[in-house]
Structure 1
Amino acid sequence: MEHTYKIIVVGIGPGSPDYVLPIASRTIAGAKVLVGSKRALDTFGSANQVIRIIDKDIKGVLDFIEGRLACQDVVVLVSGDPGFYSMLAALRGRFAAERITVIPGISSAQLAFARLAEVWQDAALISMHGRQAADDVLRYRPGHKLGILTDTQHNPAHIACVLLEHGWPETACVWLCTNLSYDNEVVAAMTLAETTGTPGFEHSVMVVKA
């Protein structure tokens, strides 16, 4: 029976190797073909592996993976957890679920809530990294809690203004969490009103709680 090679999508957590599951570390170490961001490959790749950087040419990355699958497994590194805004969505658009094995990781959103000793089971987890969230998710209601991935355009100051427009009180609590798991990690607490004048934190997790 002909062997079917697989894509193994590995969540590498928020960044530090300390937050990578042992099964993920073993899978990465045993990989012959490794695909991931430059940062991920610099951290986890080795000289004896065939590597392909995930760049803006997603179709080219998928073509590379498909070509390699003819003769070997391909390990794809994604930051955080594969099920939360990652390359897994593009892979599922090209390949059947049967060809994909997923090893979960710790998402930056999970770690942000952990840093605050805050439960996230009742939070709306959304990404405004390259996208706009739906109004019904952003709209204020008592007890509402948000975990938001930010980017350069949708930075915390911008998002704070959007939330105020959606009825959130100026006194709502905000935590800006950046470089999570690294030595230069920052978790900054402030009000929603103060966030509107806070620069930076472009690539962070923004937790908001009324």
Structure 2
Amino acid sequence: MKKYRLAFIGMGPGGADWITPAAWQQIAAADYIYASARLQDTVEDALPAFSGFFSLGTKERTWRIFNGRLTTLVEPILDDLERGNVVVLCTGDTGIFSIASWLNRVISERLPQQPIDWLPGISSLQYLSAKLKRSWQNLRIISLHGREPEDLDEVFRSKEPLGIFTDPHHSPHWLATQLIEAGRGEAQMSCGYSLTYPEEEIVTGSVRSFLTSPEEETRLCLVIVSEKTSVEEQTPSPWEKGFAGGMPDHAFQRGNRPMTKSVIRSRLASLL
């Protein structure tokens, strides 16, 4: 008996241009596609432009539209896997606050031998960081989308740079009030609204400046809070300091005596 495959596909931050070629190929091979209404619209609107390039063809596919209640998806997915390949379209990247984690665990418990693939996508956090010309590797990443971590007050009072996924209740205005109370009113805050869509907007200012924003925000919104605001202000790597390899010059205690520079030490080591 043929074993049909299940795939969780990261669909990127929103716009069709940011969906990976691998994602389109998995969609092309699918018999059943689980997605939100927004992602269905994104895919169907883009099909004329992408169908030839990714050989999507005219294969008939069945859409299963869900409203975010994951518990309602399990039985239909299990039933559809008896008849064809199933893909679940996930916003952003499958590895960060994604529906893929919970569904993968539950379905694997029910069908231990079921082949499951994860395809990463471009996260809105990656996209916004690139727009701000900053790295995101040092961000403390939290999600307030339908949840509120128990240690949130501690997180806000820390001086760590933050990447925050929001929802309408946890708006930039709400975040500003909480951060000001935590003593971070003068930190820099950047809010990305409807990222990658035509109506995209990115607003940067002090935390305090967002007190004038709406108390509830219906647009998709991602927030980065940091004391440092640009690539130039972030800690440079050894290569950006001119470090050529091995131990950097400043690691040696030598008083006023001269020493061989790091570029020479690196060259001598390469000849050994």
Q: Which has the higher contact order (CA 8 A, sep 6+)?
A: 1
Question: Taking structure 1 as the reference length, what is the TM-score of the superposition?
Answer: 0.90
Shift of 1:6: 2.2
Q: Which residue of structure 2 lines up, in the alignment, with residue 31 of structure 1?
A: 30
Q: What residue identity is the alignment partner of 1:151?
A: D
Partner of 2:196: 181
Q: CA RMSD in A?
A: 1.8
Deviations 1:105-160 (A, max 9, x none): 0011111111100110000111111111323333222xx21111111111111011
Paired amino acid for 2:224:
V
8 Å CA contact retained: 2:74, 2:107: no
Equivalent residue runs for 1:1-20 within 5 Å? 2-20=1-19
* Structure 1 contact 150–205 (Cα < 8 Å) conserved: yes
1:155 to 168, 171, 177: 171
TM-score by length of 2: 0.71
Q: Conserved in 2, the CA contact under 8 Å of 1:160 and 1:196?
A: yes
- The answer to whether the 8 Å contact 2:70/2:103 transfers is no
Rounded Cα–Cα distance in structure 2 between residues aligned with 1:185 and 1:42: 18
2:124 aligned residue: 108
Other-structure match for 1:82: 94
**1:56–1:177: structure 2 CA closer, same or farther, 3 Å change rule?**
closer
Report how far residue 56 of structure 1 moved.
4.2
Q: SS at the partner of 1:180?
A: coil
Higher fraction of strand: 1
- 2:134 maps to which residue? 118
Taking the aligned partners of 1:79 and 1:174, their CA distance within structure 2 comes to: 23
Q: 1:66 aligns with which of 72, 78, 86?
A: 78
Matched, 1:208 2:225: yes
Structure 1: runs of 5+ lacking an equivalent: none
Q: Identify the residue that residue 139 of structure 1 maps to in structure 2.
A: 157
Instruction: Work out whether residues 9 and 77 of structure 1, in 8 Å CA contact, stay in contact via their aligned partners in 2.
Output: yes
Q: Which structure 2 segments of 5+ residues have no match?
A: 48-57, 228-272
Deviations 1:57-79 (A, max 9, x none): 42221111011112322011011
Q: Which protein has the larger Cα radius of gyration, Structure 1 or Structure 2?
A: 2
